[in-house]
Amino acid sequence: MNTANTFIHLDKVRKVYRAKDQEFLAVSDVTLDIQEGELVSLVGPSGCGKSTLLKILAGLHAHDGGQVRIGSDKVSFVEGRDIGMVFQQPLLLKWRTILDNVLLPAEILDLPTREVRERGKDLLRMVGLEGFENKHPFELSGGMQQRAAIARALIHDPKLVLMDEPFGALDALTREKMNLELLRIWEAARKTIIFVTHGIQEAVFVGSKVVVLSSRPARMVDNFQVDLPYPRTLDMKTNNEFGRYTKRVYSLLGMD
């Protein structure tokens, strides 16, 4: 591990939810280093705590034990302006144009209007939505709306992008297309991305690294580099090396 380029450091991170007189352990002792510029797939069973860990990284949930560090800063219980988020649903405001939806975080952060508007147009071009700036969400397909949501997450030039099952609501064909789009955008933007999914093949296909979490409470059972070349193509899913990576994850999750 090249610690000189370590961007995210988790050390024995723990999260407990409390309701009345009961405690519920959601995340248990997760220790992990992520390098700057990596696209890390976070995979595990549904309800295992993947989204909780993502919200801890975003500063949306406090952690109850261990240490979380992004760059040189310890994460506090507030979302940092250096973090962008993409959710399972695009969550676009139906009364705003696509460009105005993309610009929303910049407005909240009070960034310079002229410069950020040009950046918004550039980002829409990068995600393949040039010419759709003045359309409204209902005029776009689900995949196009999610691409707009990715552009929105990048508008304030965050160092880290957190994606919480962003393609889970899409049909299988659109989902595969969006996996290719994500890889293209990542190679163009070179952001550190953490991509939460419960799809094992999807995790291996998009990730430069795969982190496998156990059933609840989430604990890390493995993390490994995926030594498949970029740009990745769908026919890679049929080769033996891809199969070995997916079999490794299935075995770790007790599904072999």
Q: How confident is the model at residue 256 (pLDDT cuts 50, 70, 90)?
A: low
Number of domains in the chain: 1
63-72, 73-82, 208-217: which has the minimum mean pLDDT? 73-82
Q: How far apart are CA 200 and CA 154, in angstroms?
A: 26
What is the amino acid identity at position 239? N
Q: How far apart are CA 144 and CA 123, in angstroms?
A: 13
Reported as type and span, the H/E element at residue 197 is strand 192-197
Confirm whether 130 is domain-assigned: yes
pLDDT of residue 21: 80
Confirm whether 166 is domain-assigned: no
Q: How confident is the model at residue 1 (pLDDT cuts 50, 70, 90)?
A: very low
Q: How confident is the model at residue 218 (pLDDT cuts 50, 70, 90)?
A: confident
Q: What is the pLDDT of residues 93-111, one digit of tens each?
A: 999 999 999 999 999 988 8
Q: CB–CB of 170/149 below 8 Å?
A: no
pLDDT of residue 3: 53
Q: Is the pLDDT of residue 30 over 50?
A: yes
pLDDT of residue 77: 47
Among 155, 8, 159, smallest CA distance to 83 is for: 159
What is the amino acid identity at position 154? L
Look at strands 220-225 and 209-213 and give their pairing.
antiparallel
**Using omega within 30 degrees of 0 as the cis cutoff, is the peptide bond preceding 217 cis?**
yes
Q: CB–CB of 136/94 below 8 Å?
A: yes
Confirm whether 219 is domain-assigned: no
Q: From residue 94, how far is each of 140, 145, 169, 176, 238 by CA, in Å?
A: 11, 11, 18, 26, 40
Q: What is the pLDDT of residues 167-192, one digit of tens each?
A: 988 899 999 999 999 999 999 988 99
DSSP string, 16-27: EEEETTEEEEEE
Q: How confident is the model at residue 49 (pLDDT cuts 50, 70, 90)?
A: confident
pLDDT of residue 47: 79
Q: How confident is the model at residue 118 (pLDDT cuts 50, 70, 90)?
A: very high
Q: Is the pLDDT of residue 78 over 60?
A: no
Confirm whether 109 is domain-assigned: yes
Confirm whether 124 is domain-assigned: yes
Q: Is the pLDDT of residue 226 over 90?
A: yes
Q: How confident is the model at residue 75 (pLDDT cuts 50, 70, 90)?
A: low
For the chain, percent of residues with pLDDT exceeding 70: 95
Q: How confident is the model at residue 233 (pLDDT cuts 50, 70, 90)?
A: very high
**Around Cβ 178, how many Cβ atoms within 10 Å?**
22
Confirm whether 172 is domain-assigned: no
Under the phi-then-psi rule, with left for phi > 0, alpha for psi from -120 to 50, and beta for the rest, what region is 131? left
Q: How far apart are CA 131 and CA 112, in angstroms?
A: 23
Confirm whether 121 is domain-assigned: yes
Q: Which residues constitute the domain of residue 144?
A: 92-157
pLDDT of residue 143: 93
Q: Over the chain, what is the mean pLDDT?
A: 90
Confirm whether 253 is domain-assigned: no
